[in-house]
Each structure stands twice: as structure tokens, then as C-alpha cells.
Amino acid sequence: MHLIYFDESGQSGTNLTDASQPVFVLAALIVPEAAWLPVEEGLKAEVEKSFPAPRSDRFEIHATALRNGEGYFRQFPVSHRLAFRDACLRLAQKHGLRLVYRAIAKRRFHRWIQDSFGPGVLVNPHVVAFPLVARVVDEYLRSQPGSPLGIFISDENREIIGDIEKAIRLLRGIEGSLRLGRIIEKGFFIESETSLVLQLCDLCAYSARKKEEAKAGLPLKPLDQGGVALIEPIIYRGNEAMQDTLDWVIATQKKERPGD
């Protein structure tokens, strides 16, 4: 069994013209069952080492706050915060975790939405990113010894819960290249503050977004270089079945929008 944690970075919903966040990233962190407890314990140890008690009961590792020194993290120098981030990402390497992600350039996505569905239609990029990432995760599971099963665990983002649950249900039931044959049960949604591993996924998603923004021409700031370098060895790139996925998304959305 593998636990697959999903989180996003650069989420602005259907606002696709936010110049400060031009790229949306959906990331999936694949954690083998045997690695889950060592990763959890390692993260706890790093938190205790870097941010010893007393801490708020709602303490959470959040990539943006950690990087920018916001809230609780304001009291720590940037070198301290980045060292903690890097130690967490090294745990992902140490325990053989894998990172699958899909980046979506929002302005280009907006044009595709208009071309596919007409003017005025709003679609969250998560709707397209999820089946692309899920397809690669399923492929990865099939490639492992014994073809292990997997369970999807996502941050409790109420804006997209319905879309994810519907996509999992539909993709498990179809035949062909997009079928999620190794994913069991429904998707599970949890508060990110209750799961250190989900918070690790958030760190990975943020660094993946910075990597993709740099590829798009934005400067990669020194603050982000270490994180980008550390996720590189754990990235798994598989076959997204891009055209099949886009065709499926278009067909599904048009079925839901018969009047558009």
C-alpha cells in the first residue's frame, strides 16, 4: 500500500490573471506504507530540533510562511528557516519518496478554456491537473514490485473537494489509458495542520512551482534555489496521456454544462 498526498501551490481558483502567481502546481507525494512512520517521526524530530516547544497547538509547516518569515516563523532568521526546509526535503530523499506534479501556466490555461468552452466559462486548473497527476501516479504504482495499491489524501480545500471525488469515481470506472486501476477507496480530505507528511508535500509543491516559474522566465531567487535542487532527485515523470486527458476533461465539462 502507498499513501499519496496531494497539495497545490499557486492556487488562485478561477482567477487566472494573477500576475504574482502565474503558475499553478498540483503535486502528489508518494509514500510507501513502510516509509510512512519513519518519515513522520523524522519530521517530528526536525520540528522539535528547529522549533522547540512551546508552540501553538495549530503549528503548521507552511511553505510560504516558512520562506517569508510570516506568523510564528517571523522570530527565526532566514538561514534557520531554510535549513529546516532543506532537512525536511532530505527526509523525502532518504526514505525513497517520489514526487509527481503538473504545472499549469494560468494565462495559457485561460486561453484553452475559452477555446474549448467559449467566453465567460470559468474552470479551476485543479480540474485538469488532477487527472494528469493521477494518471502518472497510477502508472508509477503499476511499475513497482507487486503493483501496490494506493490511497489519495488531499488537503481539505472545499473549493475542489467535489471535483476530486467526482474525478476519482469516474476515472476508476472507465477503461483505457486513464483508468485508475491501483487506486482504492474514495479520496480522503484532511486538515493540513493535522498531518506532517501533507505539510511535507506542501514544501515539495512550493519548490516545484518555483522550478516551473524559473523555466517560464521568472528569476529563481537564492531563497528558493536549495529547495528546487533538493526535490529534483525525487521527481518521477511518467506518461500523463495528455491528449486523452484533455479530451476526457472537455467531454466531462461539456456534459456538466449542457447549456454553455
pLDDT tens per residue, range 118-132: 888 888 999 999 999
Angstrom CA distances, 217 to 15, 105, 247, stand at 21, 12, 29
* Total-model pTM: 0.94
Residue 157 is predicted with a pLDDT of 78
Angstrom CA distances, 132 to 51, 91, 125, 126, stand at 36, 26, 11, 10
Q: b/e per residue, 55-73, with b = 16+ CB within 10 A?
A: eeeeebbbbeebbeeeebb
Dump pLDDT digits (tens) for 99-150.
Answer: 999 999 999 999 999 999 888 888 899 999 999 999 999 999 999 999 999 9
Angstrom CA distances, 57 to 28, 43, 72, stand at 26, 16, 12
Residue 258 is predicted with a pLDDT of 59
Mean pLDDT of the 23-33 span: 97
pLDDT confidence bin for 257, thresholds 50/70/90: low
Residue 176 is predicted with a pLDDT of 86
Average pLDDT of the chain is: 92
Residue 21 is predicted with a pLDDT of 84
Residue 221 exposed, middle or buried by CB count within 10 Å (0-12, 13-18, 19+)? exposed
Question: How far is residue 100's CA from residue 26's CA, in Å, rounded to a whole number?
Answer: 8
Supply the DSSP symbol for 187. -
Dump pLDDT digits (tens) for 231-240.
Answer: 999 999 999 9
Residue 1 has pLDDT above 80, yes or no: yes
Residue 233 is predicted with a pLDDT of 98
Residue 155 is predicted with a pLDDT of 87
Residue 79 has pLDDT above 90, yes or no: yes
Residue 254 is predicted with a pLDDT of 80
Sheet holding 188-190, edge to edge: 98-105, 23-32, 2-9, 150-155, 188-190
Residue 259 is predicted with a pLDDT of 55
